Structure 1
Amino acid sequence: MKRNADSADEVHDVADFTDTARNAVTPVLQLPGNAALTVVEAFAAIVRNAKRNPSATTRDSDGITRSQTFEEGDVYMLETPFEGFFADRYLMDFHDVAERDVCSRMHLHTGLRFVRMMTGPDTRIRVGSLAPFEVTHVEGVTPFRPRTFEDVLPDTPADVVRTRYNLIVPPCSFVDMQIPRGVSHQFNAIGPHAVIDSVHPEESVETFREGMAGYRMTAQTVFLSEELPAAHTCANLNA
């Protein structure tokens, strides 16, 4: 899938990109504000503690640096893969796009991902894709329907217009997303209390499949733009 297996900033032409599947979204639950804040901040505290701890910010015996920073936020690899178990698990403490004044880029991964997004009070997550979302709704069980809308993907070449499909995770909510291999997506948090609990079922396999020289978290990503978009392109929730 990648042209340079070890590149941490590989960019593919958005004009030629086609999603081969769709992201599947499942609303899980909504909590009272205090309960949601307690859960989200407890997960975020793990990531923040790891960021301050040399044991997490240096390579371990397997060559893995557990604490890193991605475009969307700070990340801690909670569980690493091992022989006979290909998956790993991440926690992400989102940046607030209003504070950073930039958004994360649209991107895809060399393997599938399973993501649980969690928000606290006064916080939303705007999820984008170049393909429409498949939203699960089981009548009488699914707690809510997330709002969706379309706009135009920003910062494309002058002769390229791509529709961006958007979905909003509301405050104090847990929402799951199943991301097939090679399907575009983009996460941006608007507000201070947002985390992701993410399982990467085959990330260690991706290292071998793509021919990577070693295990590097960011090398499993392909971006669809050169630059990080300005904050207003993802902070607007009223499109």
Structure 2
Amino acid sequence: MSDVRIKHDADDENEVHDVATFADQARNVVTPVLRLPEDAALAVVTAFAGIVRAAKRSTAATTRDRDGIVRSQVFEEGDVYMLESPFDGFFADRYVMDFYNVTERGVCSRMHLHTGLRFVRMMTGPDTRIRVSSLSPFEVTDIPGVTPFVPEAFDDELPGAPEGVRRTRHNLVVPPCSFVDMQIPRGVSHQFNAIGEHAVIDSVHPEESVETFRERMSGYRMMAQTVFLADELPPSDSCDLRA
């Protein structure tokens, strides 16, 4: 395991690195899992989103616990709730994210990377898609007879890059009423944007305590464990889907 720190300031919640010189050291791996009927997909996504929304109203979830953890947090892509926290002898945790609808919000999330690896399961309901992006091509799992579909993929140019800098953005689309997994190695760029009302992520951080110690962070905070590759949130038309 590399002990090289990624962040310049461990607790900075808006640290931005130079996108012109950034290079991914690995690739994200995407695995389509299943398609669901509309009513089943809506029930699952609504139930997960309900957990996050209940946490926002909870005094216990919005104040520090005995370990100094605030379970209800806010990230660029949506509201999050730490469903399961790390403890001595178990350095992983689990978050649920209730996505913002970028069309309604008017802005997209920024391309970013994390100081520790992530495993995410993206889930969509009716009339909702998630655009997943990276500065490196995705590896897509396709096991004949098992993998239910191959996601739509396309490339475009990363918006908001400094003058004279051009970076290719690789994109995948999670279709409505689908579960799609993604393995995100430490320090690899990615960007999620939901188009529609019904999208959640169930996210496992298998080295949460390790990365916090490695970076010398003072607590478990999604924003502090993130490095952005743009100064500002781009407008929603920069992460919309092609007609």
- Give TM-score, length-normalised by structure 2: 0.97
Q: Alignment partner for residue 213 of structure 2, among 177, 187, 208? A: 208
Indicate which of 17, 20, 23 corresponds to 1:18. Answer: 23
SS in 1 for 2:31: strand
22-31 or 50-59, larger mean C-alpha shift: 50-59
Give the whole-Å Cα distance in 1 for the aligned partners of 2:219 and 2:87.
14
Contact 2:27 2:139 in 1 (8 A): yes
| 8 Å Cα contact 1:95-1:192 kept in structure 2 | yes
Deviations 1:192-237 (A, max 9, x none): 0000000000011111101123333321100000000100000133
Matches within 5 A, 1:101-180: 101-180=106-185
How much identity, in percent, do the aligned residues show?
74
- Distance of 2:174 and 2:30 partners within structure 1: 10
Segments of 4+ moved more than 6 angstroms: none
The structural deviation recorded for 1:105 is 0.3
| Equivalent position amino acid for 2:176 in 1 | P
> How far apart in 2 are the matches of 1:16 and 1:134?
23
Q: Which runs of 5+ in 2 are unaligned?
A: 1-5
1:87 paired with 2:92, answer yes
Q: Distance in 2 between matches of 1:175 and 1:237?
A: 20
Give secondary structure in 1 for the equivalent of 2:231.
coil
Name the SS for the 1:235 alignment partner: coil
Which ranges in structure 1 are unaligned for 5 or more consecutive residues? none
Q: Distance in 2 between matches of 1:213 and 1:136?
A: 37
Q: CA deviation at 1:96?
A: 0.2
TM-score (norm 1): 0.98
Figure out how many residues of one structure are paired with residues of the other and give that number: 238
Aligned partners of 1:213, 1:72: CA distance in 2, in Å? 23
Structure 1: which amino acid aligns with 2:151? P
